[in-house]
Structure 1
């Protein structure tokens, strides 16, 4: 059963929808807390819609996270760097390879016995040439072996 420990099927993947929802939830709750503090501090009746339109924190922070790739979710203590990346659209196969790569959750200096193995149900969902676990073993060269000329 040693091959089972190297498959991605036993690992939890953080997908884009989950990461975006965590970031939005943190920004929304932070905006609610700040607006509550601002309304409690003001002596006059404040307009909630004016405050929300003036405060563009959610839009700015989502844009910053997507453009820089640094995701800081203070509520959960999550500080990830390099979550987003620019996709090189030089060819269809290269784009497909970039879109199906996954990022390791630990350092690459750790020694492993061999490259990870894809289960048949994961083919097409994850890049079969990318090896995100352990040290680089020269499988992440290219998806050109799947490309055909013509």
Structure 2
């Protein structure tokens, strides 16, 4: 079996700087233009998912969270450091994450009945409804950046 090729520039310390900076800007001054800028940045490069405690016997499973009503939420992170920041301190050194292409990580929203995605729950926490993630990965919008008008129409 051939080993997976790790892209250049991706390591355990990987950070999607553009997505993190856009998220920080959006949380400081939220509006649809800032949300569009974040989603455009978030669908490029890589994102991190939490696979702590995943068994190797079957396919790797991601850890998820739940709303107060028990609905599943998909946690996504812009870096391993953000993943560690979301975990209580005594357990932070045992956390495991998978760095994956951003569109693939975002597309995981369709793998279950997720109602939302939560980005960087440890710091610049942003909860995005499923419809915004679906629009972000929609093939119809793959060739051009999302705009504030695209998101307002939802």
Which TM-score band (shorter chain)?
Answer: under 0.3
**Structure with the higher helix share, 1 or 2:** 1
* Superposition TM-score, scaled by structure 2 size: 0.23
**Structure with the higher strand share, 1 or 2:** 2
* Superposition TM-score, scaled by structure 1 size: 0.24
